[in-house]
Structures are given as structure tokens and as C-alpha cells.
Structure 1
Amino acid sequence: MSTGSQTARRAVILGGTGMLGRAAAERLARAGWSVDVTGRTRGNLPPVLADLGVRFHAVERRDGEALAALLGSGTDLLIDALAYTAADARLLLPLLGDVGTTVMLSSKAVYVDAAGRHVNTAEGPSFDGPITEDHPTLAPGDMPHDSPEGYGPNKVAAEHVLLDSGTPATVIRASKVHGPGATRLREWVFARRVLDRRPAVLLAGGGTGIDHPTAAVNTAALIHCVADAPPGTRILNSADPDVPTGAQTARIVAGHFGHEWREVLLADDAPAGLGDHPWDARPGIVLDTSAASALGYTPVGTYAQTIAPSLDWLTTQPGSRFDADPYFEGFFDYAAEDRYLRAHPVS
């Protein structure tokens, strides 16, 4: 591990060109760290990271020899944004002897309610309050991880491997992450309506649903806090300091672009599917982040303060990038919205 006042601390980020990885890389590089990131192609490395001296490596996450060579004889901080299975985590164990602290990026998808439901079940979960890190999780699993049924169980399995390894490891569970570079920026549901100059936005459940967002820069700040803390084994939730409702989220997105529209707050008897949006969780899903605060973490900003770069980045991307994602199917039935608006004119 790097020591001494004249030597910059070194961080290695597996998956460093993705949304969370690039935020962590920029945060650490600006703080004087020496940063190496892996990715599929160098072209995915944002220019700002290259300008900050971040080094790119085309290393496959499941290539143990390449990972060993990258980590070398000493790494102060290893951030794994690509640990999806127990096998992924086990691959790292022989390499952690000279790693100061390991951070695994996980998800709130691991949490289950009293009925065993989670955020990827057909019927959403019903939590009885803010979710703390000791809340029950799914059982570890070893099925295909790239599915709604397999994602959470595999994440739990990967968490267990690292937490039980005896090496300093921190698991960070984030919620509905937003930031430049997102493969799925959920704000597209409202941003596309703004770009299409829709005169009204319809919101199911009166716009009261909430699903805690997490800015990538806030998770990066938490990672930085973990790196500065004494080494240890811990689980930390990561989420924005505020929890906007669906209506507030729509308002923030429209306001960013200077767009004005009529908010139509739908009652529960409105046609099924009308006014659906990604934050419509009722009862709401909120992560308790007091453990992170107790460690010394300070968020970069609120949702409204941190979403702006994502929205600016979104406008530089072709709309087809998001429309091609099956996740967004059904969110843009403008014909159904127009029929409802004609049948329910403003008095």
C-alpha cells in the first residue's frame, strides 16, 4: 500500500467508466489520488478523467491474472462496480492481501419486506419505514444475475463473500442512482415529455409516490469518506439527503429546462397505467443513511442540486439511446393521456 506524504494514494476502480465508477474516479483524482480504472473501451473514458490523469486499462473483470497485474504490489483502495455474483467476489480474495480497503457497490434491491417482496418483484415491496443496513435481505443465490429474479440474490451472495473474507471491506447499497453516463437515466420519463413540449404531465397516485434517489456524486463522496476512515468491515446505505415525491421530481426536471406544464394529479381510480413513473412507490421506499453520516460522510447536495449535470448530459445523447430500452415501454402513451385530458378539461 502507498504510504508516505510524498506518494499519492492509489485507487483502482473496476468498471470505472460507468456512472458510479466515473464519479468516484473524478472525486478521488481531484483530491490528489492516483487513479486507475478498467473498462471495455478507452472511448468510454470521459475527457475530464483523462485530463485529471486517470489511467484507463482494458481489463476484463473476470480475468484474474489481469486483475492481479493491475492491482500490483499495493493498492490503497479497490472499488468494485462490477461484482454481480459470488464468483466475481471470490476471484478477488487472493488479490486483497495488499489492498488497504475494498468497496463493493451493491444495491437496495437486496432488501425484502415482511412478505419477501423486493423492488424487482411484480408486486412492489411494502416497507414499514426507512430501511437500515440490518434490514432483512434476500437469500444468497446463484442463478443468472442479469434478471429481475437473480440480480438481488446474486448481489447478496457477492456481499457475503467479501464481508466474510476477513479483509477490510465495505458494501455500499445505493438506490435509483442518477448521474452522467447512466445506461438508464429514469428522468427520461419526464425529460422526454419536456423535449416533446407536452402541455401537461399526468401523475399516478396524485404524484405522492417516492423511491429514494442516489446521486452518483453522493456515492462518490461516501466512497471517499470510507477511504479516509480506519479500515473495517461494514455495510452502508447510500442515498440523497432528500426524498422528492414523483410530483416534485417532475417539477425539478421541468424547471431545469424552463418548461411549464399543468400537473394532473390522478386519483387511484384513474385508468391503469396512466401517469406511471419510476418513482411511484406507495408506500414509499426510503433508505436510512445515518450509518454513513456517523462515519463522517457529508453529501455533495440534494437531488435538485445534483440532478442538473445528468439532465444536461441527457440532452447530448440521442433519444433513441433511451427509447430503445424496454424499461421505458409504456411510459409514453401520449394518445391515452390526450384522451384523458380531453375528457377532463380544466374547469
Structure 2
Amino acid sequence: MPERYKVMTIGDAMITFNPSVQGPLRFVESFNRKVGGAELNFAIGCARLGLGSKWVSRLGKDEFGKVIYNFTRGEGVDVSEVELVEGYPTSLNFKEINGDGSGKTFYYRYHSPITTLTPEKVKAEWFENVNLLHLTGVFLAVDSNNLKVAKRMIEIAKEKGIPVSFDPNIRLKLWTIEEARKAYEEIFPDIDILLTGLDEIRLIIGKDSEGELSRFADQYGISDLVIKDGEKGSRLYRDGKWTEAPGFKITPIDTVGAGDGFDSGYIYGWLNGFTPEHLLRFANGVGALVTTVSGDNEGLPYLEEVSAFINNESIIER
């Protein structure tokens, strides 16, 4: 059956080493090898929900690069614009997970292969049959030149009438908040859907009242301003009106990737014309399910799992 909608994203990916035990990383002696990365998680999340999903990236031409490439292809993601390049090691990260599901991530992504992807290499043909372009601040933070790549992709998307969604996904281990704000200000005027955490928007604009957030969205012409607030739920500002939906009561195991899952759920609902209330509830459900499984993307649910969960939140058949 032909795909009804297709999304495209671009970004670095990493081999993620998950700890075998909870607690400070210095006491962990063994790890499980996984695959992760914000944009890759989003692409996989969309594919599992039934959207066509295309991921643009560059990986090291090494064993870890092959692991990521094969894993992603196996998830049904279009990897036609993923290349393995010589002389650039595939990025790594090590996760620290606490008893309450929270944690930290330690990155080793200097000299990332994604830096070989320059604006001149972005092709209009990539956008064929694409219905939405999704970008995140992680891609922008990895290398200063990635902003030029992102702006070129946005330029082509706008020429073709393709909407653009953006998740700031702030990583202060990769750049400063001042650098982040400067980069975001260059792309906010072209963003249709902004998916941001409440803590992130506070860092970006220094305010978090609904009045200030509304003015911010109106200033940049953002049609959907989505505020993610973890277990408390989420809010949407659209057409001068706020809509909110509570979160789901669950016991989190690993919160990493929940925001990426939320994004994939929101974009799925947006493309399929869900009402604002249904949009938020559906996206909240996807984000909640991600936290019930350890790993960056292992918990990303399939469509039938989300449907069962949001209709009866006691049902989690994994």
C-alpha cells in the first residue's frame, strides 16, 4: 500500500551504551549497545506509527556506522540519503540512569561524520513526495556549519510548500544557550510547528506565561506552538487559543527519547488532521509509552499500541 504521508529529517546518530545497572556512571562496569540520536528516534517513531519516514545523515565508515545503517533500514526508514564516510568515527554516547528513570548523557561526537554534509550537497530531489520536514536543535548544535545546511533545507521546503516542524532539543553540553538562541532566531520565522519543552522555552525567551508564549508564537508566525511538560501533559497554542491535555500516570523506567516520541506522535496526528485535543492526547500517549522501556527508541510504540493505551491507559501490551 502506498504511503499516505511522508516526513523527512536530518541529523547525527550515535551508538548508545546503556548501563547494566542504575546509578553514577563511574560505578558501571558493563553496558548494552544500542542505537540513538534525536532525529533518528523521530524517524523511527514516525515509521512505527505508519508514516513514510526519511532520514538524511552521514555515518562513519566503520563497524558502528554499519550497525546504525542496518538497524535504521530494518525499521523501515528510507536511508537512501545516508552515506558512510571514511576518516570520521561514528558518534558515541554513554547513558547514566537513576532509580527514578531520570539520567544524564555523556557525548563523544567530536569530528562527527555529519559535518561532511554541506549546504551545497542538499538536493531538491530529496524532498520528492515529502509532506513535512522536521529539524531539531541537536543537529544545529553538533557543528556551527549545520545551521547553513538546515537553512538550505528550509529554503527548499518553503519553495515546495512543505511545512517545517522544529524541536529545540537543547543540548548545553554541545553549545551555549547564547549560541542556541542566535541560531534559533534565524530559523524561527520559517517554522510552522514548534515542539518544545517548558524548561526549554524558558531558556530561549526567558518567560513562560501563556501571554508571553502567545506573543512569541505570533511574532514569528508559528502556527502550532506545542509546550511539552513531561508527566504533567502538554499544551498547544493555535489560532489565538490554548488547548491542553494531561499526561498519563505511569512509572517511568527511562525518560530518554520521550520527547522525540512525543514529536513523532504529534506529527502523525497533525498530518492526519486530528483535533487539537486528540493531537495532544495521542502525542502524550506516545511519549509516555517510550518511558516504559529502557533505551532511546526501543519504547517507541506502534499505532495499535498507542490506540490501546490512550483508550485505556492501564493497557500496555509491549
Name the TM tier (shorter chain).
0.3 to 0.5
Larger strand percent: 2
Task: Write 1 or 2 for the structure with the bigger share of helix.
Answer: 2
If the length of structure 2 is used for normalisation, what is the TM-score?
0.43
Length-normalised TM-score, structure 1: 0.40
Give 1 or 2 for the bigger CA radius of gyration.
Answer: 1
